[in-house]
Chain A
Amino acid sequence: MKAKRYAMTMDTKRCVACQACVLSCKAENDLPDKGFRDWIVQETRGEMPTLSQENRSERCNHCDNPSCVSACPTGASYVGPGGTVLVNQHKCSGCKACIAACPYNARYVHDEGYIDKCTFCMHRVQKGEEPGCVDVCPTRALHFGDLSDPQSNVSEDLKKRRHKVLEPERGLDPHLFFLV
């Protein structure tokens, strides 16, 4: 069996920018008040009455070439199971080099001093559950799965739908795909 490569697809057509994913993440991961591992962007373009809008639920892109991991001087940022980019909080010195290196602004300083970010809820995934944001989403806009499996929901999404990633020109090979 091929090694897993976890990824997420985010359907901008389904999303209504309600923020349930953000709050579910905060509750699931018991985050400090100022800590956010995911967030909503609602982008409106054009002039009245010709307007268009895109809703995105954003988080760490769990890149294949993670600039944060390269930037980390202590080895706290690492590539974990299924290609997820994780932080070992015990090794983290809180130097913020990873924050500077991440073009997605996916990391923040936890109240306890270490750098925190989305884990794709690996503690849930390992139990066979979906990440907290995916689990709650009332519009089912978020899919989580294994990109190495051509039959997985995320592989199917990418086959069927037009999609994009953010900041593709940086060559980080992000694994959060926006279905447009």
Chain B
Amino acid sequence: MLNRRQFIQIGAGTAGVAALSGASTNWWGLDKNPLHDPGTEGEKIIPTFCELCFWKCGVLAHVKDGRVTKLKGNPAHPLSLGKLCPRGVGGTGLLYDPDRLKTPLIRRQSKRGEQLFEEATWEEALDLMANKMGQVREKYGPEAIALFSHGFGGAWFSHFFKAIGTPNISAPSYAQCRGPREVGYYLTYGQGCGSPENIDIENARCITLIGSHLGENMHNTQVQEFADAMANGAQLVVVDPRFSTAAGKARYWLPIKPGTDIALLLAWMHVIIIEKRYDIDYIDKHAAGFTELREHIADKTPEWAHVLTGIRPELIRETARFISSFKPASLIHPGRRTTWYGDDTQRARAMAILAALLGSWGRRGGYLNTSKLDVPGFPYTTSYPEHRPQVDRPKPSLYPLADEVLASGVCDATIPGTSSYDIKAWVVYGTNLIQCLPNPRQTKKAIQELDFIASIDVLPSEICGWSDVVLPESTYLERCDEVWTPDYKVPFLAVRQPVVEPMYNSKPGWWIAKELAKRSGLEDYFPWKDSVEYAKFRVTAAGYDCDELQRTGVIVGQGAPTCEEEGLALSFSTDSGKIDLYSKPLAALGFDPLPQYTPPDEAPAGMFRLLFGRAPVHTFGRTVNNRFLSLITNDNEVWVNAKVARDLTGVGILKTGDRVVLINQDGVRSEPIAAKVTERIRGDCVYMIHGYGHSAKGLRFARGRGASDSELVTQYKVDPIMGGTGMNVNFVRIERATQADEAGATRVREGAA
């Protein structure tokens, strides 16, 4: 007997699929079954690049009737290769967010933080801002003005602030994120890992993740390469107190005690060196300080590390042998947010040294040499003025190896009399300092000391509520920004071009910066008409075709050799001119020249270490108001170990979905949050997705959803080498949420609090 499909197949050969597929099931027998087309294909498809996170993937925006219908990955762009992460797909949720900042706002009668503003014209707001900044410049000097910036559009403001004459230009992406890693690798190899990182996941035969949760952290190209590597049979070792999505793919998951990674890394080195499993030729040729390293790890046995990390000695030996068996294509992933425990530069050093033992720097499947297209800068005739040194370190001797300005240091220096001079004005571009700097109370205290604070953003985040002037920027889909030419294994040049007209009364960043400069007597620094003229000048000067670039969004260049296998000659701009296993610069500054294990503080009785991380559909708190992305995840949960949850002190049996609050060591009580009881986390820590628990009234969707990890990060340990703020040093206890807790959250959700 024929089944229905076979009938159709036979029929289709003679009479065509469309007609018969209809006829076979057509109840009325009158009409064919039309194929429904949802009609989302664009009339125009415009290439640009994404800003939902800072990976900046190439995007093709479909535009129909003046609206963006959908966003696709640009196949020509080396960072998207035709694919997007969920956030990139959800860019329309930002563009059409009904809560967007729509017009300039000025705080008049209210107090800072009350979130009460009057709508203003651009003239009024820019005049006021230039005037206030001028007063601070005159009274305290230009250095008293600080810029905090995150995101690609910040380039215009960095330029403007350099023109003013302040060195206090900082991004939390350094001291609160990847800074320790950059310094650790710089000390070892003479360069950091950069962004996008210089790693060859694609060709790695073994990948080791130390706390990195690739796959939940959705840096597009890294995830693409990760999937390819796994499909090609690469092995995976994951060191994480939590069974991450990546751990679910691992040959070995080592659920390490939080804060003890350096002990594991040293024990791995012990095994690899004692058993002569390192790349002997590579180390002989390229490394300095091996003798000191060998002595240093002599007593760092797996048995020693076992007591500290909780990982069995035989498993430490087995994984060390396993990882080294794939050298040199055995990649120690350098991680990204590495501000954990205050000894983070030393942990990054340990990872970098282990990578050197595996001979993976400059080798296929390891760390690659990158290159960049040569695009001349705009030929400004004015140079930046001289200025006093930056203010982010209370004493010049502190954090001697920080190679960017510390956002947390600038915040601290705002408290009068604490540094060489006081900061009196902040301009905040695209970064919600209340959520991203540790200890929000301290940030708010610093803000109260300011003569002036302004925010430039697309959404009314918490920091906007603390500002005197709020300027609405157009989103990345509505503006042309600086041209982008990153260091990457394939060098390229990408443009961000407007896809639709700016909505509301928003303006692109270049225009805002130029208008402020005009009002500050600095118009000479902005000699171009608009960012398009600026970008065209640079692209043309570099010898590239602007029309082609507008059409394709990206021009890919010819790269230099990326690894020895491609003919790369390894060189290192370190102290010794080789890979510094032993760091003389660290020794000279009084730091450990080889990484030492420092024990983390133990959790007080009944408390758990608070860990936090990323969800694939969100970028910090920036996307929590995005209604489209929130169709997937609109709340965070606190992960609690299943055995612990069977009898939790003061709570009893905790079940998934139970509403709890977290109370930290300083008595800070979180918003209510649902528990996720799971085997996927150790019993000595809890975990939550970062970025929830918004209190900004203007974020009408995000406010009052989930709990804020940031509010619980009242303690942090500063990395003495480079000033990074280790934030995984807070402890919480768990209580059931009370009616008052829930009522509080409801008030925030309803905009009443």
- List, in ascending order, chain A residues with CB within 8 A of B38's CB: 28-30, 123
Of chain B, the residue at the smallest CB distance from A75 is B27
Q: Are B89 and A30 in contact (CB under 8 A)?
A: no
Q: Does B228 contact A (CB under 8 A)?
A: yes
Q: Are B8 and A51 in contact (CB under 8 A)?
A: no
Q: Does A139 contact B (CB under 8 A)?
A: yes
Nearest chain A CB to B87's CB is how many angstroms away? 9
Interface residues on A, range: 35 or more
- List, in ascending order, chain B residues with CB within 8 A of A47's CB: 642, 679
- The answer to whether residues A44 and B83 also contact, given A13-B230, A75-B28, A78-B22 and a CB cut-off of 8 A, is no
Nearest chain A CB to B220's CB is how many angstroms away? 5
Nearest chain A CB to B439's CB is how many angstroms away? 32
Q: Does A23 contact B (CB under 8 A)?
A: yes
Distance between Cα atoms of A64 and B13 in the complex (Å) = 18
Q: Does A3 contact B (CB under 8 A)?
A: yes
- The answer to whether residues A22 and B255 also contact, given A16-B616, A30-B69, A48-B680 and a CB cut-off of 8 A, is no
- List, in ascending order, chain B residues with CB within 8 A of A74's CB: 27
Q: Are B89 and A24 in contact (CB under 8 A)?
A: yes
Question: Which of A4, A54, A91 is the one whose CB lies under 8 Å from B27?
Answer: A91
- List, in ascending order, chain A residues with CB within 8 A of B8's CB: 3, 79, 83
- The answer to whether residues A48 and B255 also contact, given A13-B230, A80-B21, A138-B85 and a CB cut-off of 8 A, is yes
- List, in ascending order, chain B residues with CB within 8 A of A13's CB: 230-231, 249
Q: Does B752 contact A (CB under 8 A)?
A: no
Q: Does B9 contact A (CB under 8 A)?
A: yes
Question: Which of B4, B26, B39, B629 is the one whose CB lies under 8 Å from A30?
Answer: B39
- The answer to whether residues A80 and B86 also contact, given A49-B255, A53-B245 and a CB cut-off of 8 A, is no
Q: Does A69 contact B (CB under 8 A)?
A: yes
Q: Are A139 and B245 in contact (CB under 8 A)?
A: no
Q: Does A165 contact B (CB under 8 A)?
A: no
Q: Are B215 and A16 in contact (CB under 8 A)?
A: yes
- List, in ascending order, chain B residues with CB within 8 A of A86's CB: 33, 35
Q: Are A22 and B632 in contact (CB under 8 A)?
A: yes
Distance between Cα atoms of A168 and B26 in the complex (Å) = 29
Q: Does A17 contact B (CB under 8 A)?
A: yes
Q: Are A138 and B33 in contact (CB under 8 A)?
A: no
Q: Does B541 contact A (CB under 8 A)?
A: no
Q: Does A19 contact B (CB under 8 A)?
A: yes
Q: Does B218 contact A (CB under 8 A)?
A: yes
- List, in ascending order, chain B residues with CB within 8 A of A11's CB: 231
- List, in ascending order, chain A residues with CB within 8 A of B631's CB: 23, 26, 33
Q: Does B223 contact A (CB under 8 A)?
A: yes
Q: Are A138 and B3 in contact (CB under 8 A)?
A: no
Q: Are A23 and B616 in contact (CB under 8 A)?
A: no
Q: Does A163 contact B (CB under 8 A)?
A: no
Interface residues on B, range: 35 or more
Nearest chain B CB to A112's CB is how many angstroms away? 12
- List, in ascending order, chain B residues with CB within 8 A of A51's CB: 243, 247-248, 253, 679-680
Q: Does A119 contact B (CB under 8 A)?
A: yes
Distance between Cα atoms of A120 and B86 in the complex (Å) = 19
Distance between Cα atoms of A82 and B230 in the complex (Å) = 32
Q: Does B673 contact A (CB under 8 A)?
A: no
Nearest chain A CB to B212's CB is how many angstroms away? 13
Q: Are A3 and B13 in contact (CB under 8 A)?
A: yes
Q: Are A23 and B679 in contact (CB under 8 A)?
A: no
Distance between Cα atoms of A69 and B27 in the complex (Å) = 12
- List, in ascending order, chain A residues with CB within 8 A of B218's CB: 16, 18, 138
- List, in ascending order, chain B residues with CB within 8 A of A19's CB: 86, 616-617, 632
Nearest chain B CB to A62's CB is how many angstroms away? 10
Interface centre among A15, A18, A69 (most CB of B within 10 A): A18
Q: Mark B538-549, 1 if CB is under 8 A from A, else 0.
A: 000000000000
Question: Which of B35, B82, B253 is the one whose CB lies under 8 Å from A122?
Answer: B35
Nearest chain A CB to B701's CB is how many angstroms away? 12
Nearest chain B CB to A55's CB is how many angstroms away? 7
Nearest chain B CB to A81's CB is how many angstroms away? 5
Nearest chain B CB to A32's CB is how many angstroms away? 10
Q: Are A30 and B24 in contact (CB under 8 A)?
A: no
- List, in ascending order, chain A residues with CB within 8 A of B682's CB: 48
Interface centre among B9, B18, B248 (most CB of A within 10 A): B248
Q: Does A136 contact B (CB under 8 A)?
A: yes
Question: Which of A78, A90, A136 is the one whose CB lies under 8 Å from B72?
Answer: A136
Distance between Cα atoms of A79 and B13 in the complex (Å) = 16
Nearest chain A CB to B636's CB is how many angstroms away? 15
For window 18-54 of A, CB contacts with B under 8 Å fall at 18-20, 22-24, 26-30, 33, 42, 44, 46-49, 51-54
Question: Which of A52, A69, A141 is the one whose CB lies under 8 Å from B248?
Answer: A52
- List, in ascending order, chain A residues with CB within 8 A of B39's CB: 30
Of chain A, the residue at the smallest CB distance from B90 is A23
Q: Are A79 and B5 in contact (CB under 8 A)?
A: yes
- List, in ascending order, chain A residues with CB within 8 A of B628's CB: 23, 26-27
Question: Which of A27, A82, A138 is the one whose CB lies under 8 Å from B70?
Answer: A27
Distance between Cα atoms of A76 and B26 in the complex (Å) = 8
Of chain A, the residue at the smallest CB distance from B641 is A48
Q: Are A138 and B680 in contact (CB under 8 A)?
A: no
For window 136-166 of A, CB contacts with B under 8 Å fall at 136-141
- List, in ascending order, chain A residues with CB within 8 A of B627's CB: 33
Of chain A, the residue at the smallest CB distance from B83 is A138
Distance between Cα atoms of A87 and B230 in the complex (Å) = 37
Q: Does A96 contact B (CB under 8 A)?
A: no
Question: Which of A23, A44, A90 is the one whose CB lies under 8 Å from B629?
Answer: A23
Q: Does B84 contact A (CB under 8 A)?
A: yes
For window 85-131 of B, CB contacts with A under 8 Å fall at 85-86, 88-90, 92
Q: Are A55 and B69 in contact (CB under 8 A)?
A: no
Q: Does B224 contact A (CB under 8 A)?
A: yes
Nearest chain B CB to A158's CB is how many angstroms away? 16
Q: Are B4 and A79 in contact (CB under 8 A)?
A: yes
Of chain B, the residue at the smallest CB distance from A125 is B35
For window 116-130 of A, CB contacts with B under 8 Å fall at 119, 122-123, 126
Distance between Cα atoms of A76 and B216 in the complex (Å) = 40
Of chain A, the residue at the smallest CB distance from B8 is A79
Question: Which of B5, B82, B226 is the one whose CB lies under 8 Å from A64?
Answer: B5
- List, in ascending order, chain B residues with CB within 8 A of A80's CB: 17, 21, 33, 35
Distance between Cα atoms of A27 and B59 in the complex (Å) = 14
Distance between Cα atoms of A75 and B39 in the complex (Å) = 25
Q: Does B40 contact A (CB under 8 A)?
A: yes
Of chain A, the residue at the smallest CB distance from B628 is A23
Q: Does B78 contact A (CB under 8 A)?
A: no
Nearest chain B CB to A160's CB is how many angstroms away? 11
Q: Does B37 contact A (CB under 8 A)?
A: yes
Of chain A, the residue at the smallest CB distance from B678 is A44
Q: Mark B40-76, 1 if CB is under 8 A from A, else 0.
A: 1000000000000000000000000000011111000
Distance between Cα atoms of A47 and B150 in the complex (Å) = 41
Nearest chain A CB to B608's CB is how many angstroms away? 15
Q: Are A139 and B227 in contact (CB under 8 A)?
A: yes
Of chain B, the residue at the smallest CB distance from A88 is B33
A interface residues (Cβ-Cβ under 8 A, vs B):
2-5, 11, 13-20, 22-24, 26-30, 33, 42, 44, 46-49, 51-55, 64-65, 69, 74-83, 86, 88-91, 119, 122-123, 126, 135-141
Could you list some 28 contacts between A and B, CB below 8 A?
A13-B230, A13-B231, A14-B230, A16-B214, A23-B628, A23-B629, A28-B38, A30-B38, A30-B40, A33-B627, A42-B248, A44-B243, A48-B681, A49-B253, A51-B248, A53-B249, A54-B248, A55-B248, A64-B5, A69-B4, A83-B5, A88-B34, A91-B33, A119-B36, A135-B82, A138-B85, A140-B83, A141-B227
Known contacts A65-B4, A136-B83, A138-B220; can you find 5 more A-B pairs with CB under 8 A? A18-B86, A18-B616, A20-B85, A23-B86, A140-B228
B interface residues (Cβ-Cβ under 8 A, vs A):
3-5, 8-10, 12-13, 17-18, 21-22, 24-28, 31, 33-40, 69-73, 82-86, 88-90, 92, 214-216, 218, 220, 223-224, 226-228, 230-231, 243, 245-249, 253, 255, 616-617, 627-629, 631-632, 641-643, 678-682
- A-B interface, 9 closest residue pairs, ranked by CB to CB distance from nearest: A53-B248, A75-B27, A16-B215, A139-B227, A78-B25, A18-B616, A3-B9, A123-B37, A27-B70
